């Protein structure tokens, strides 16, 4: 894939001028940063549908939203998500909600003549034993890790749908695959949070209680790549401006760390000095996750800029302040 020169890329402010943009999930964790990026570029007509008004699982609500907003661009970030525990307890809910939201939005957007549709996929769509680093071309070479498979497959179906609508109708649908996100404003609910906010909360509560230990899931051996949410938001907006290809594109940082090292790092940064006990009866999840991020750089000039430890410090500081303000 050739790298376009900067002169071939549209001016960011000019690109968004006068465009009506729907951002599903715009009030959520990642969505809030995407909204900030759009506003910084001069986007003035941003529509953030609320689930209380538009239940995107329902076709009638999707049609009403598009009729009300008449968008030029849709950034589809809304998703039913959670950690390993939530995925194990609600696999049918995760499959149905994510498939129905995306499938109906894409179909109705095409029918309404929307200019561009950006689908946010998930790293959970990759096969369980994908060679590291994960290349987009490996997406179909096996079944996803079992605990996340219903969610991952539902999101991957939206890639196929977008490609099919492009092939048959010329619909400009693109598909992005962010790796594990973290940052301020994340979900810290222990029933549904992902690994970083779960560990931050666990360590802070143990520190404040003077607890002798925390218990972490699995054996600590899996590795994960994490990308700061603000960096991911920049990648999404750049892709909307600059990328119109049919191939999926990874969004990541290329920084990989084991869950054991991650847990020890969060313990140090939060000031928890007790023991870390591993509960091997709990699932590890996918053995390794690390993305090949060359396509994002070559296709639309994206590169994450936040150092992992710096991002963790910002996330911990944000959560400690949020707790203090309750």
DSSP β-bridge partners for residue 120 = 176
| For residue 7, pLDDT beyond 60 | no
301 touches 244 (CB < 8 A): no
pLDDT at 318: 98
pLDDT at 3: 44
**Considering the chain, what is the average pLDDT of its residues?**
95
Q: pLDDT tens across 206-221, in order?
A: 999 999 999 999 999 9
Q: pLDDT tens across 147-161, in order?
A: 899 999 999 999 999
Instruction: Compute the average pLDDT of residues 228-240.
Output: 98
Read off the pLDDT band of 1 (50, 70, 90). very low
| For residue 6, pLDDT beyond 60 | no
Q: Of the candidates 279, 310, 290, which has an alpha carbon nearest to the alpha carbon of residue 132? A: 290
Q: How far apart are CA 26 and CA 38, in angstroms?
A: 11
Cα dist from 61 to 52, 92, 93, 104, whole Å: 10, 21, 19, 10
Q: pLDDT tens across 285-322, in order?
A: 888 899 999 999 999 999 999 999 999 999 999 999 99
User: What percentage of the chain carries pLDDT values higher than 70?
Assistant: 98
Q: Which residue has the tokens 């994450």?
A: 304
Structure tokens at 204: 């802070």
Q: Which residue has the tokens 């950034």?
A: 75
pLDDT at 171: 98
Burial 139-177 (b: 16+ CB within 10 A, else e): beeeebbebbbbbbbbbbbbbebbbebbeeeebbbbbbb
293 touches 177 (CB < 8 A): no
The alpha carbon of residue 72 and the mean position of all alpha carbons in its chain are separated, in whole angstroms, by 23
Read off the pLDDT band of 191 (50, 70, 90). confident
Domain 6-182+227-254+290-306: CATH architecture, name and number where available: 3-Layer(aba) Sandwich (3.40)
pLDDT at 5: 47
Active site residues per annotation:
151
Structure tokens at 23: 């951002």
Q: How far apart are CA 71 and CA 320, in angstroms?
A: 38
pLDDT at 177: 98
Question: What value, to the nearest 5°, has the Cα angle with vertex 145 and ends 141 and 150?
Answer: 95
Read off the pLDDT band of 261 (50, 70, 90). very high
Instruction: Compute the average pLDDT of residues 235-251.
Output: 98
Q: How far apart are CA 28 and CA 45, in angstroms?
A: 18
Instruction: Compute the average pLDDT of residues 11-20.
Output: 95
Cα dist from 74 to 86, 191, 211, 236, 244, whole Å: 28, 30, 47, 12, 14
Instruction: Kindly state the DSSP code that residue 185 receives in the 8-state scheme.
Output: T
Q: pLDDT tens across 39-94, in order?
A: 999 999 999 999 999 999 999 999 999 999 999 999 999 998 777 777 789 999 99
Instruction: Compute the average pLDDT of residues 215-244.
Output: 97
Q: Of the candidates 272, 190, 263, 179, which has an alpha carbon nearest to the alpha carbon of residue 221? A: 263
| For residue 2, pLDDT beyond 50 | no
Q: Of the candidates 314, 223, 233, which has an alpha carbon nearest to the alpha carbon of residue 269? A: 314
């Amino acid at each position: 894939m050739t790298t376009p020169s900067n002169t071939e890329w549209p001016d960011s402010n000019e690109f968004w001028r006068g465009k009506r943009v729907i951002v599903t999930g715009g009030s959520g964790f990642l969505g809030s940063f995407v909204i900030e990026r759009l506003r910084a570029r001069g986007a003035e007509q941003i529509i953030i549908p609320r689930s209380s008004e538009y239940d995107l699982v329902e076709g009638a609500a999707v049609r009403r939203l598009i009729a009300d907003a008449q968008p030029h661009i849709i950034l589809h970030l809304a998703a039913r998500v959670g950690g390993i525990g939530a995925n194990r307890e609600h696999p049918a809910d995760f499959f149905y909600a994510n498939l129905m939201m995306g499938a109906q939005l894409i179909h109705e957007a095409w029918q309404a003549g929307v200019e561009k549709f950006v689908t946010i996929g998930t790293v959970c769509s990759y096969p369980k034993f994908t060679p590291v680093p994960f290349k987009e071309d490996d997406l179909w070479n096996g079944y996803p890790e079992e605990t996340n498979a219903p969610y991952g497959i539902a999101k991957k179906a939206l890639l196929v749908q977008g490609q099919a609508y492009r092939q048959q109708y010329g619909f400009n649908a693109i598909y992005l695959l962010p790796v594990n996100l973290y940052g301020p404003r994340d979900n810290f609910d222990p029933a549904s949070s992902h690994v970083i906010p779960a560990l931050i909360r666990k360590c802070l509560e143990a520190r404040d209680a003077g607890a002798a230990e925390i218990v972490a899931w699995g054996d600590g051996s899996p590795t994960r790549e994490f990308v700061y949410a603000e960096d991911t938001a920049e990648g999404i907006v750049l892709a909307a401006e600059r990328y119109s290809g049919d191939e999926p594109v990874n969004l990541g940082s290329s920084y990989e760390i084991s869950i054991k090292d991650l847990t020890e790092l969060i313990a140090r940064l939060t000031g928890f000095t007790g023991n870390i006990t591993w509960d091997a009866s709990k699932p590890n999840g996918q053995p390794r996750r690390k993305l090949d991020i060359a396509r994002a750089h070559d296709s639309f000039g994206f590169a994450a800029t936040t150092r992992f430890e710096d991002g963790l410090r910002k996330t911990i500081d944000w959560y400690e302040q949020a707790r203090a303000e309750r």
